[in-house]
Structure formats: structure tokens, C-alpha cells
Amino acid sequence: MNTRVLKINSVSQQKDILTAAQLLKNGALVALPTETVYGLGANALDEEAVKSIFAAKGRPQDNPLIVHISEFDEIYNLVEEVPPSAKSLAVKYWPGPMTLILKKSKLVPDVVSAGLDTVAVRLPNHEVTRAIIKAAGVPVAAPSANLSGSPSPTTAQSVFEDMNGKIPLIVDGGACRIGVESTVISLTGEKPSILRPGGVTPEQISEVLGDVAIDDAVFHNISSSRKVASPGMKYKHYAPATKVVIVKGDREKYYDFLEKQSGNFGALCFEEDASKVNCKYVSYGKESNSLSQSNRLFNALREVDSLGVDVVFARYPFEDGMGLAVLNRLLRSAAFEVIEVE
Ligand code: TXA
Ligand code: MG
């Protein structure tokens, strides 16, 4: 299959928007830009189309997909009920990097929810993609547009690397502003629970809902046999071919640690560390700016393989705010291997 890349910078490109929408309507896969990462979209109500997402990514069948909508009212078709908590969060953070898990309606096919009785819904903050969903007239199921296990794509070029020859169209809407995926919040239990940290921080969720839980799988490796709230969290993720090991400690301790290493290693560090590390390195953002880190992390993980080293030692990010999302992705890319040097 020939994969076309189409630049759409504005909703005034009506013809191009209709091209993408028509493909979705016809059951084809289209990669779409969002403010978090690029998604691999299909008509969520078309079982065959949704199945082809799993095939293109090599995604395990038991990992459910997020359904994207173009305006709030479209949620009513997808869920059994919209609780007040969902409405309050939506008013504050939609369109935006937040996904809500609610009881699903009968309209949502089982392939989308991987057999669960819940569905994940998101209203993304990218006007081109919202216009495409609106023109398609159907909700759009979209996981991140990477091959399963690889870092999520934050540019059309990264999507092309993973999806060339597998899908007919990639919509290039520029680099993703946030760079890590949305915050996934379950509203189906007694207490709201963050299943995956992202662009909307735990503090911001608490501002609206009060007490929120953070699922265990955010920090710990969950064995694949255990039943988890969010099936996606049990898989190894975001991993470059090169081994990643995280080093927890302040910057001086980190430099000392690197000095003591032998063999063919590199660093996955912050920009400020660049002149201090005596080895090949890739940097991922500024030390005290979580947004700059989330912006860079997935590209940095893709670049790590070109260093030609056996292992990279990564600096441990701050856990506050957006930092929790950065830490969660880094932990998963390192298969949770952390060395403490404090
Ligand atoms: O920012 C994002 O969320 C991006 C863009 C494209 O919107 N999408 C994305 O999709 O990251 P994906 O498929 O890579 O991650 C979806 C996550 C997975 O961890 C999955 O297990 C979880 O959401 N999920 C989906 N439906 C769920 C459900 N019904 N219950 C619990 N977790 C669910
Ligand atoms: Mg993903």
C-alpha cells in the first residue's frame, strides 16, 4: 500500500479534511495529529476497520482503544450514563489531554473495548482532527500510531517510520504540543482513579473531584497474568532497542555514577547535563521543566538507538505535575529498572 502524507495546517483546507473523513467513513485507517501524540484512527462503529488497527500496530487484542469525539454531546451515544463528575471534568479540561472511562453503550463494538463493559472517550484539542471527525460523522477509535511496544509518535515523520506501507493516509498537523499521551481516568469505581498519568495532572483532577486514587500500575510492573484496570499498562512500552536503566539521585551523583561505568554506554540526560557527561548522550528536555521533557521524551527514546551503545543511563525526572507522566513513560521504557545512587 502506498502511504500518503498530507499536510493540513488549518480547518480552511476543506477538501483535504474531506479526503481524510471519507477514508475513515469507508473503513480505512488514517493517522491523525492530536495535542498529545499521533493517533491511528478508524471508524469506531465499524468492527472490521477497528480490527485492522490491531493488525497494523501488532497490538494485543485485549488492549482496548480510546474513542475520539469532535464535541461533547457526541459522548451520549457512546456511554450508558454521563455522571456529574464526567461533566465537571469535561467543562474544565476538554478539549484536552484527558480520557474518561465510563460504562459503555450497546453502540460501541466489543473490539473497541476489548470485551470490557466500559469505554474510553476523549475530546482532543487539535482543531484539524476535530474537523475530520466531525466531517466523518462517526466517533474515531485511535490508539497511538506507533508499532506496539515502540515509543508513541509525536511527529508525522515518526508515524511514517512505523506505518509506511500499512495505511493509506497520514495527516501531518505539525509536532504534538504535549508529547505524551492523555491522562486516563476511570469514573466507574467508587472513587475516581488515574489509570495513566498525562497532560492533565493529578492536582488538576483533584481540584475538580477532590480525592482521586492513582492506580498501582503507574509506578509498578504489573505481571501480565494479573487483572489490571487498564490493560495497556501491563505491556512493555515505549522501549527503544537499546536497554534503558534509570538512575535516581541528584545530578552530581548521576555524573559520579557515569564516571564509574565501563563498557559501551550512553546517557539519556537533561540539556543542562550535556557538557558534563563524558559519553554519548541524548537529552530529553530541561531539568526543571516537565513540559519540555514530555515534549522531547518519545523522540529522545527513538534517537537513543542511533547512539550505537548497549545501554543508556537515564536521569530520573521530578514527579510533580506533568512530571508523573514523564516518569511513568520512562519507567516503562526501562522495564522499571531503577538504580538508586542517593
Ligand atoms: O493521548 C492519547 O490518549 C492518545 C491519542 C491518540 O489520543 N491515544 C492513546 O491510545 O494513547 P493508546 O491506545 O495508546 O492508549 C490507550 C490506553 C491504554 O492504556 C488502554 O489500556 C487504556 O487507555 N484504555 C482504553 N480503554 C479502556 C477501558 N475501557 N478501561 C480501561 N483502560 C482503557
Ligand atoms: Mg499507545
Domains and CATH numbers, the chain: 4-218 (3.90.870.10), 243-340 (3.40.50.11030)
Separation of alpha carbons 243 and 335, rounded Å? 9
Tens digits of pLDDT across the chain (342 residues): 999 999 999 999 999 999 999 999 999 999 999 999 999 999 999 999 999 999 999 998 899 999 999 999 999 999 999 999 999 999 999 999 999 999 999 999 999 999 999 999 999 999 999 999 999 999 999 999 999 988 899 999 999 999 999 999 999 999 999 999 999 999 999 999 999 999 999 999 999 999 999 998 898 887 655 566 766 666 667 888 999 999 999 999 999 999 999 999 999 999 999 999 999 999 999 999 999 999 999 999 999 999 999 999 999 999 988 999 999 999 999 999 999 997
Single out the residue of 282, 272, 185 nearest to residue 242, CA to CA. 282
65 lines ligand 1 (CB under 6 A): yes
* pTM to 2 decimal places: 0.94
Closest ligand to residue 189's CA: 1
145 lines ligand 1 (CB under 6 A): no
Q: How far does the centroid of ligand 1 lie from the alpha carbon of residue 264, in Å?
A: 36
Residue nearest to atom 5 of ligand 1 (CA): 39
240 lines ligand 1 (CB under 6 A): no
Retrieve residue 296's grid coordinates.
522531547
Residue with cell 480525592: 211
Probe target for ligand 1 pocket from 62, 99, 117, with the most ligand atoms within 8 Å of CB: 99
Closest ligand to residue 116's CA: 1
| Pair type for strands 169-172 and 213-214 | unpaired
Contact 285, 179 (CB under 8 A): no
294 lines ligand 1 (CB under 6 A): no
